[in-house]
């Protein structure tokens, strides 16, 4: 089974050349997924296909981005690919997930993702994730909860992130007291992000992991804040010529519909 399944069989993946790939991890508070929903809606991204849906738990539901009755019943599944092109400046490819990645497929998924990135000549991979706030060490209790991790091929961005944007690199932390680089990237509750980072060590692809410390609950605020932060670098609002973010229709009933007035 091919990793990428286009909606239109004639779709040419070379159209994605020089684009940036954004994808969430299914992580604590679903911050990455909420941030991606915000980007899909705001940039009016087009759904172009699916990516490795057999690696995720099966799920199907209503269109999360419905704006009218006509598109309400369009089916959404577990792993969908969206695209937005920018004039003279590549574009954004976004993979959104609606179900957890099965543990036994995590390593294979990361390898296939990076192979697809190379095939499409995508410029860099941006992974949005989140970590348990209760796992912070003393030095992480104050200041911004926003962190980044760079693959070897993406080290060129360190100076810009650290100096121009005042972002903090994720502090190295060993879980067993040994100086093992595999264990130094500690992303508790961060989904497959660590596996993606480790897979990138054997790849020439530029992988950037952005994370925020948070707790379970209503994390729309953290998602908006995360998108604001990364847009300082990606400038997708400017490239799309939009003034601000548009909230997806699925956020209207974030905790379900209100109780019927007749019960009071």
What local confidence, expressed as pLDDT, does residue 87 receive?
Answer: 81
Degrees to nearest 5, angle at CA 263 with 260 and 264: 110
What proportion of the chain, given as a percentage, has pLDDT over 90?
70
What's the CA gap between 167 and 51, in Å, rounded? 31
What local confidence, expressed as pLDDT, does residue 244 receive?
Answer: 92
196 versus 218: which is more confidently predicted? 196
pTM: 0.91
| Residue 177 clears pLDDT 60, i.e. is over it | no
Reference 23, options 207, 203, 254; nearest CA is: 207
What local confidence, expressed as pLDDT, does residue 140 receive?
Answer: 87
CA 150 centroid distance within chain? 15
The tens digit of pLDDT for each residue in 133-167 reads 999 888 888 889 999 999 999 999 999 999 999 99
What local confidence, expressed as pLDDT, does residue 21 receive?
Answer: 97
Degrees to nearest 5, angle at CA 171 with 169 and 176: 150
Reference 154, options 210, 195, 206, 198; nearest CA is: 206
Q: By the 8 A CB rule, do 248 and 38 touch?
A: yes
| Residue 179 clears pLDDT 60, i.e. is over it | no
Neighbouring CB atoms inside 10 A of 73's CB total 9
Q: By the 8 A CB rule, do 247 and 38 touch?
A: yes
Both tokens of 254, joined, read: 């974030």
What's the CA gap between 162 and 104, in Å, rounded? 35
Both tokens of 82, joined, read: 């969206």
DSSP letter at 116 equals: H
Helix axes 220-234, 31-42, angle to 10 degrees: 60
């Amino acid at each position: 089974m091919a990793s990428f399944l286009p909606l239109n069989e004639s779709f040419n993946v070379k159209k994605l050349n020089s684009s940036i790939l954004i994808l969430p991890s299914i992580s604590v508070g679903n911050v990455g997924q909420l941030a991606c929903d915000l980007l899909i809606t705001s940039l009016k991204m087009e759904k172009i296909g699916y990516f490795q849906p057999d690696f995720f738990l099966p799920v199907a539901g209503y269109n999360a981005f419905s704006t009218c009755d006509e598109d309400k019943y369009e089916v959404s599944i577990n792993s969908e690919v969206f695209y937005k092109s920018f004039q003279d400046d590549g574009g954004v490819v976004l993979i959104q997930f609606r179900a957890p990645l099965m543990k036994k497929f995590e390593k294979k998924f990361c390898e296939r993702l990076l192979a697809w990135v190379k095939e499409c000549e995508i410029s860099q991979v941006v992974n949005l994730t989140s970590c348990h706030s209760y796992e912070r060490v003393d030095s992480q209790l104050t200041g911004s909860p926003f962190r980044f991790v760079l693959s070897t091929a993406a080290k060129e961005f360190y100076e810009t992130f650290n100096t121009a944007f005042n972002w903090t690199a994720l502090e190295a932390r060993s879980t067993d007291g040994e100086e093992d680089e595999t264990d130094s990237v500690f992303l508790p509750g961060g989904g497959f992000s660590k596996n993606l980072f480790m897979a990138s060590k054997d790849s020439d692809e530029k992988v950037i992991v952005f994370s925020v410390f948070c707790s379970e609950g209503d994390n729309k605020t953290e998602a908006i804040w995360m998108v604001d932060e990364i847009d300082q670098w990606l400038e997708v609002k400017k490239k799309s010529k939009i003034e601000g973010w548009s909230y997806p229709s699925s956020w209207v009933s974030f905790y379900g519909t209100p109780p019927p007035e007749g019960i009071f």
